[in-house]
Structure 1
Amino acid sequence: MANLYFVFAYNLFGKYYEKRRLEYFGLRHNLLKNRMDIGYDVYMSGALLSATICAFSALVFFTTIIAIFGVPELKASRFTFPLWFAPYLQYKSIAVGLFGAIIVLLLVFSIVYKLFILYPVITSSDRKRRIDSLLPYAVNYMAAMSGAGVLPVDLFRSLAKNPIYGEVAVECRFLVRDIEILGHDLVTAMKNLTASTPSTALQDFLQGAITVITSGGDLETYFQIKTEQYLTENRQSQKEFLETLGLLGETYVTAFVAGPLFLIVVISIMSMMGNVQIVFLYLIIYAMIPVGNIMYVILISAMSQEA
């Protein structure tokens, strides 16, 4: 269904983007990094159509709200409008409707359009993180397979078929595709993957492997060295993560357990004395504590994924 939507959008706006290939070089590269099976012109056509639909939907919603609730009452004063503006207040409905519609239309269109452009960048960063997190284990697997006498091409083919290694396996599938379908040799396929992968760690690993292959070195030894390096770096990052997690735990207890309890007791006592309004107590209980807990859950979740 989504493909039909983008094809329909391409039929409408495709020719506009076909002439601007160089302008969207970065977008094309990010789409390639995400392994998104879609051309930049088709993708941007879908972005333009989606932004247009969302903008007009927002315009209809804005017009409906104005028609139901009307325009807010405006009075000329030195704090809002100068007195000379008073005779023109009779046209406020037209002015608010016109300028409000233009602002809503442009704002929603710009936001949706920019989100489409930023989406490949965001997902590319997410793929980079997932590749980096699984790369040490994938290299360890390659070292074991190489030690068993498996040829490099068969090694990458085996890794590409193994779903345990997630995005690393996806990257290897493209390397195998270049060899089996496009007819490239192993070194050329590795160079192509180096140029298109979002992970700098995988780029470094492949460049080193290319050097070893072209110089006639031993891949098994190289894989073992890289395995030790990545596992050492992984242990160090896990240690730093645990230390950071402990610090965040202490901060959480202080800011959102002991701190709110202390404030609740103090405000309760002061409210009974008539010095503080009870509304501050409600703000702490129903706003500060829930929002703070949600923020910490999001923070810990993001850090755990990175680790």
Structure 2
Amino acid sequence: MTNVYQVFAYNLFGKYYERRRVEFFGLRHSLLRNRMDTSYDVYMASALLSSILSAVGASFFISLILVVMGVPEIKASRIMLPLWFEPLVQYKSMIVGPFLVLLFTALVFICVYKVFQIYPSIMSGDRKRRIDTMLPYAVNYMSAMSGAGVLPVDLFRSLANNDIYGEVSVECRYLVRDLEVLGQDLVTAMKNLATTTPSPTLQEFLQGAITVVTSGGQLEPYFQIKTEQYIAENRQNQKEFLETLGLLGETYVTAFVAGPLFLVVVISIMSIMGNAQMVFLYIIIYALIPIGSIMYVVLISMMTPEA
């Protein structure tokens, strides 16, 4: 769905991206695999406008910080700056201030623009993981329905209406859309879904089903074979995940529990003796441990299957 912001962005920059369809082929495919109901030119126009607004906001924010706190102190030295720069230090407000504003503005613009470009690819990768997680159970459901004599078209329609199978149901809705709205036959609809789905496993499953249908075979035995295969693979994946989780747990205890605790004790003793600075202790307590813990939480959350 296109909102007012996207329409405004498209009116400003849409024509620029319309002429560059070939350059953004990968992005267009990622948007399609991610099932984002937005054309790439509208999406990139919104990305460009958001990048500009973010850069303007960053410029204002950095300028406000420089006005309130002043320009950082700069001294010419062999390590930081050449000695010939020393006469220019008195003009630091006119040189360093605008330079910092332009630098952070450019960095914010580039970062926001790149995030918009890679976001569909990241989300399609997340959809791939969720599809692969639910596919064994969805195929098992299809096998049971097929054994009850349900036609393949009705089978996919029933699966599309069953939200318990998550992203697999979403994929089937696009297949049903091709059947009911676009008037395509089942084989063509499955080919379209196999081409656009982010999951290679689902793509392989659909290609096998297409082969069975076009050769005049029965889908029920094929579904039963795939059910056994996917359940066995799912058990193996869960076993590997538990082993990986145990390894990550041991690594976390070593790197972010025992290690920092040892360093805290050593630095505290050395600071009492006057041979260490407390800044390292602050870095460990307020930066290393919290950031490391958050990184582990995000990593485990990304690795954990949903079912």
TM > 0.5 fold call: yes
Structure-2 residue corresponding to 1:138: 138
Give the equivalent residue in structure 2 for 1:58: 58
Alpha-carbon separation, structure 1, partners of 2:287 and 2:97: 35
Change (3 A) 1:201 1:60: same
Q: Give the 3-state SS of the residue equivalent to 1:198 in structure 2.
A: coil
**1:110 matched to which residue of 2?**
110
Show CA shifts across 1:203-259 (max 9, x none). 000000000000001100000000000000001111111222223333444444555
**Contact 2:7/2:42 (CA < 8 Å) preserved in 1?**
yes
- 1:38 partner SS: coil
The whole-number CA distance in structure 2 between the counterparts of 1:283 and 1:65 is 24
Task: Give the distance between the partners of 2:273 and 2:80, measured in 1 at CA.
Answer: 40
Q: 1 CA distance for matches of 2:42 and 2:91?
A: 44
**Alignment-derived partner of residue 239 in structure 2:** 239
| In structure 2, C-alpha distance between the alignment counterparts of 1:89 and 1:280, rounded to whole Å | 31
Shift of 1:304: 1.3
Give the 5 Å matches for 1:73-88. 73-88=73-88
RMSD between aligned alpha carbons? 2.5
Secondary structure class of the residue paired with 2:3: helix
Letter matched to residue 86 of structure 2: A
Identify which range, 87-96 or 235-244, moves more after superposition. 87-96
Aligned runs of 1:1-307 on 2, under 5 Å?
A: 3-259=3-259, 288-305=288-305
Matches of 2:207 and 2:158 in 1, distance apart? Answer: 20
Change (3 A) 1:274 1:304: same
1:11–1:147 distance in 2 versus 1, CA, 3 Å:
same
Q: CA deviation at 1:297?
A: 2.7
Amino acid at match of 1:58: A
Q: Answer yes or no: is the 8 Å Cα contact 2:146–2:152 preserved in 1.
A: yes
**Structure 1 residues 73 and 126: CA distance shift in structure 2, 3 A:** same
| Distance in 2 (alpha carbons) for counterparts of 1:201 and 1:227 | 13
> In the TM superposition, what is the alpha-carbon distance from 1:19 to its structure 2 partner?
1.2
| 1:157 positional shift | 0.3
Segment drifting more, 37-46 vs 21-30:
21-30
- C-alpha distance 231-62 of structure 1, shift in aligned 2 (>3 A): same
SS at structure 2 position matched to 1:216: coil
Tell me: CA distance 1:69–1:306, structure 2 relative to 1, closer, same or farther (3 Å). same
1:305 Cα shift?
A: 3.4
Matches of 2:46 and 2:90, distance apart in 1: 42
Q: Could you tell me how far apart the structure 1 residues matched to 2:43 and 2:303 are?
A: 31
Question: Which segments of 5 or more consecutive residues in structure 1 lack a partner in the other structure?
Answer: none
Structure 1 position 262, deviation (Å): 5.5
Contact 2:2 2:38 in 1 (8 A): no
CA distance, structure 2, for counterparts of residue 255 and residue 99 of structure 1: 39
Q: Distance in 2 between matches of 1:186 and 1:78?
A: 73
Q: Which segment drifts farther, 279-288 or 167-176?
A: 279-288
What do the CA deviations read for 1:150-174 (whole angstroms, capped 9, x no partner)? 0000000000000000100000000
CA, structure 1 residues 276+90, in 2 after alignment: closer, same or farther (shift >3 Å)? closer
Relative to structure 1, is the Cα distance of residues 292 and 113 closer, same or farther in structure 2, using a 3 angstrom cutoff? closer
Inter-CA distance 81–290: structure 2 relative to 1 (3 Å threshold): closer
1:136: Cα distance to partner? 0.4
Q: Return the alpha-carbon distance in structure 1 between the equivalents of residues 21 and 260 of structure 2.
A: 56
The residue type equivalent to 1:38 in the other structure is T
Shift of 1:69: 2.0
| Number of positions where the alignment pairs a residue of Structure 1 with one of Structure 2 | 307
Letter paired with 1:119: Y
CA distance 1:191–1:2, change in 2 (3 Å)? closer
Displacement after TM superposition at 1:16 (Å) = 1.0
Structure 2: distance between partners of 1:101 and 1:295: 30
CA 1:231/1:286 → structure 2, altered by over 3 Å: closer, same or farther? Answer: same
Give the drift of 1:279: 6.8
Matched AA of 1:65: I
Distance (whole Å) between structure 2 residues aligned to residue 8 and residue 254 of structure 1: 52
